[in-house]
Each structure stands twice: as C-alpha cells, then as structure tokens.
Structure 1
Amino acid sequence: MAKIIAFANQKGGVGKTTTTCAIAAGLKEKGNRVLCVDLDPQSNLSFSVGACSEDCATIYDVLKGDVKPLFAIQRAGVFDIISSNILLSGVELEFTQTGREYLLKEALATLTSKYDYILIDTPPALSILTVNAFTAANGIIIPMNADIFSLQGIAQLSETVDKVRNYCNPNLKLEGIVLTKFNKNTVLSKDILGTAQLIAQELHTHLFVSTIRSSVAIMEAQTNQQSIYEYAPNNNAVMDYKSLVEEMLSVGI
C-alpha cells in the first residue's frame, strides 16, 4: 500500500517542485515503486521530467472523471507521473459539487496497491487543489526557503492542515519542514534555522537535519529534463537531497 506524501507551501519559489522530483528519484533509486502527481497548473514538475501535458490524459481529466487514473500514468524515465496542465487553474470555479475535496483521494485509491510512494506536487496557493492533496495524503512535507517570508506563510498552511484534519482527513500528519536554498555560513540562515526549529516544535513536527544548498546545476537538470542524480551526481545540492531521502527513510517516512 502506497504512502502518499504532499509537498506544500503557498509561497512560490521555495523549491517545492524540485524537492518533489528529487525525493521521488531518490526513493526510486532505493528500489521503490514511485508515482508523482503534478497538481500544479503551471506543470513545472511535468516539464522537468519531459512528461506530456497537452493532447494527453492529465490529472485534470482524472479529477473530472473523464479518464481512469491508470490510463493517465506516464512513464517519465526515473519514475511514473500523472501530469498537469493549465486547465487545472479553473477547478475552483468548475468543481463546485459536494465532496469535491475527495476527488483526488478517490482517484488515488485505485493506484495505492501498485506503488510504494505517491508524491503530490501542489500549487503555491491554499486552493481546492491543495485541500484535495491534503485529503488524499498520509503526510505533508513543507519545503521552505531560509528567509523570513517563508516562515510567515507556515502559520496559514498550518490552519489549512487543521481544517482538513477536522473535516476530511483526521490522520493527516505533518512529516516535517525542509530548509532549501540554505547557506550555513550566513547569519540569516543560522537565525532562520533557529526560528524554524521553534516553529516545528509548535506544529509538533520534524525539522529535517538535512538542508538543501542552492545550485545552478539543479535548474540546469530540470531545463534539460534530466534526473539530478544523473546530471550532476556529485553536486552539493544533489548530495543534500540524497541525505534527505536517507533521513526520511530513517524516521519511517
């Protein structure tokens, strides 16, 4: 039975898609069966692995009920993916039926026996798509930049998680916070690290020891639609993501 993990932060540019992709590839390297679901209308995860987003079945078609989830899966090199496209941006107005929060959960229920992990890349907004991801997931990982603006958004995210727990998914767990674009040599990063530790304690969650350094090679790999582990295996940030995968597995995620 697959463990379903959503990667969420309503602030853009925090490395959410990169983290989803890197962890998926890392888990696959460990011998796991991995499916990614791109739930972001911007389709960045789909693009970064070379998945089709136009003239093919996407998560939008699955949520509408037009396509069975199994037939929307693409083999995207390292791991499987259900891609996204821009039509997802209209679901807030289009999906108004009762129970719309459960659409993704119902769709993924047919796939959980086929994978060890299902990872969901969410949009940078606390929308019905994010609520669907939280309703479907067992746990949430929050990637955040080592800056004050990222910290400010965690409170809002926590409120949404609490609402989903109360109404849709009582077993939803905050698996942890991972700091991205982290430079341990700056005073700011050290301050943010301390604050993030306090926030993690308040939210009764885990601040991952593994932090992710900035790297141009990560962006280059995504632009070239290659796995970061193949494109730059000895890069600092790639090594950081490997450590993060090891840490996740060691704490039972």
Structure 2
Amino acid sequence: MAKVISISNQKGGVGKTTTTCALAAGLKKRGYRVLAIDLDPQGNLGFSVGADAETSASIYNVLKGEVKTQYAIQKTDSMDIIISSILLSGIELEFTNTGREFLLKEAIQPIQTFYDYILLDTPPNLGILTINAFTASDHIVVPMISDIFSLQGIAQLYETVERVKKYCNPHLSIAGILLTRYNPRTRLSREVRGTAELIANDLKISMFENYIRSSVSASEAQSLQQNVFDYDARSHIAQDYGKFIDELLAKGV
C-alpha cells in the first residue's frame, strides 16, 4: 500500500513543484514505485517532466468521474504522473456536493497497491484541492523559502491540517518543514531558520535538518523537461535533494 505525501504550502514560489519532481525522481532511482499527481491548475509538474498535456486525461477528468484513475496515468523517465488541468481552477464552484473532500482519496484507492509512494503537488492555497490532498495523505512536506513572509503562513497551514485531522483524516501528520532556496552564508537566512524552528517547536512540527540551496540547475532542468538528478547529478540542488530523501526515508516516511 502506497504512502501518500502532500507537498504543500499556501505561499507560491517556495519550490513545491521542484520538490515534488526531485522527490519522485529520487525515490524512483532508489527502486521505489512512484506516482506523482499534479493538483495545481497551472500544470507545471507535468510540463517539467515532459508529460502529454494535449491528448491524455488529467486529474480533473478523474475527479469528475469521467476516467478511471489508472487510465490517466502516464509513464515518464522521471516518474509515473497524472497531469493537471486548468479546469481545476473552477473546482470550488463545480464540486459542491457533500463529501467532496474525499474525492481524491476515493480516486487513488484502486491504485494504491501498485505504488510505494504517491506524491501530491498541491496548489498555492488552502482551498478544496489542498483539503482533498490532505484528506488522502499520510504525511505533508512543507517547503518554505527563507524569508519573513513564509513564516506567517506556517500557523495558518497548521490550523488547516488540524481541521482536516478532526473532520476528515485523523492519521495525517506533518513530516516536516523543508527550507528551500536556502543560503547558509546570509544572516537573514540563518535568522529565518532560527525563527522557523521556534515556531515549529511551539506547534510541535519538526524541521528537516537538510535544506535545499539555491541553484540555477533547477530551472535549467525544468526547461529541458528533466529531473535534477538526470540533468546534473553533481549540482548542489541534486546533492541536497538526495540528502533530504535519505533523511525522509530514515524518518520512516
């Protein structure tokens, strides 16, 4: 049975898609069976791995009940993936029935035995798509860049997680906060990390010891529709994500 992990932060530009892609590719290289599901209407994850966005079914079609989940899965060099659709942007108004929080959980149940990990790349908000992701997940990884604005969203995310645990998924846990685009040489980055640790301790959330440094290799890899390990395994970002995956596995996630 697959472990389901959401990569989530309501703030945009923190590296959710980059982290999802690197985590999926890194786990696959370690021999795990991995499926990534793109829940962001922008569809960046599918593009970054060269998935077919023209003729293939998307997670929108699956949630609508138009296509069985297994028929929406595409196989790429980096991972198996179910792509997103811009139509997801209207899902708040389109899906209004009772139990809509469980649509994704019900959709992935038939395929969970085929994978070791299912990774959910969530949109930059705490709307119904993110609630669906949390309801279906075992764990949440929270990417966070080293700026003061990112700190403000941790408490809000925590409150959302607590509500989902109360009403939809009592077994949900936050695996940890992952600092991205981190520069250990700057004073601001060190101060933000220290403050984040204080907030995390107060909320009883752990922070990953490993962090992800800034690297142009991430953007270059995405533009060439490759994962960071295939593009340049010696780059800082590939090495950092490799250490992060090791830490994640050591935690039993």
Shorter-normalised TM range: over 0.9
Instruction: Please state if 1:152 is matched with 2:146.
Output: no
Taking structure 1 as the reference length, the TM-score comes to 0.99
Between the aligned partners of 1:29 and 1:55, the Cα distance in structure 2 is 28
1:10, 1:102 → 2: CA distance? Answer: 20
**How far apart are 1:143 and its partner, in Å?**
0.1
Runs of 4+ residues deviating >3 angstroms? none
Find the aligned partners of 2:205 and 2:82 in 1 and give their Cα distance. 29
AA matched with 1:178: L
Structure 2: any 5+ residue segments left out of the alignment?
none
Cα offset, 1:192, TM superposition: 0.8
Kept after mapping to 1: 8 A contact 2:7/2:140: yes
Distance 2:47 2:203 in 1: 33
Are 1:54 and 1:85, in contact at CA under 8 Å, matched by a contact in 2?
A: no
In 2, Cα distance between equivalents of 1:252 and 1:145: 25
Distance 1:80 1:86 in 2: 20
**Shift, 1:54, TM fit:** 2.9
2:240 alignment counterpart: 240
* Structure-2 residue corresponding to 1:117: 117
1:15, 1:205 → 2: CA distance?
19
Q: Distance in 2 between matches of 1:183 and 1:245?
A: 19
- Aligned residue for 2:118, secondary structure, equals strand
Match status 1:29 vs 2:33? no
**Partner AA of 1:13 in structure 2:** G
Letter in 2 for 1:65: G
Match of 1:38 in 2: 38
Deviation digits for residues 108-148 of structure 1 (CA, Å, limit 9, x no counterpart):
11111000000000000111000000000001000000111
Aligned to 2:138: 138
| 2:91 matched residue in structure 1 | 91
Letter in 1 for 2:223: T
Alpha-carbon separation, structure 2, partners of 1:199 and 1:25: 31
Give the structure 1 partner of residue 81 of structure 2. Answer: 81
Question: Shift in Å at residue 250 of structure 1?
Answer: 0.8
Q: Which amino acid in structure 2 is aligned with residue 72 of structure 1? A: A
Aligned partner of residue 110 in structure 2, secondary structure: coil
1:58 aligns with 2:58: yes
Question: Is the partner of 1:183 in helix, strand or coil?
Answer: coil
Fraction of identical pairs, as percent: 58
Kindly provide the amino acid, as one letter, of the partner of residue 115 in structure 1: Y
Note the C-alpha offset of 1:55. Answer: 2.9
| 1:208 alignment counterpart | 208
Q: What one-letter code is carried by the residue in structure 2 that aligns with 1:74?
A: Q
* TM value normalised by structure 2: 0.99
In 2: Cα distance, 1:85 partner to 1:227 partner: 21
Work out the CA distance in 1 between the residues paired with 2:132 and 2:233: 34
Alignment RMSD (CA, Å): 0.7
1:17 aligns with 2:51: no
Q: Does residue 231 in structure 1 map to residue 252 in structure 2?
A: no
1:164 corresponds to: 164
Aligned pair count reads: 253
- Residue 176 (structure 1) aligns with: 176
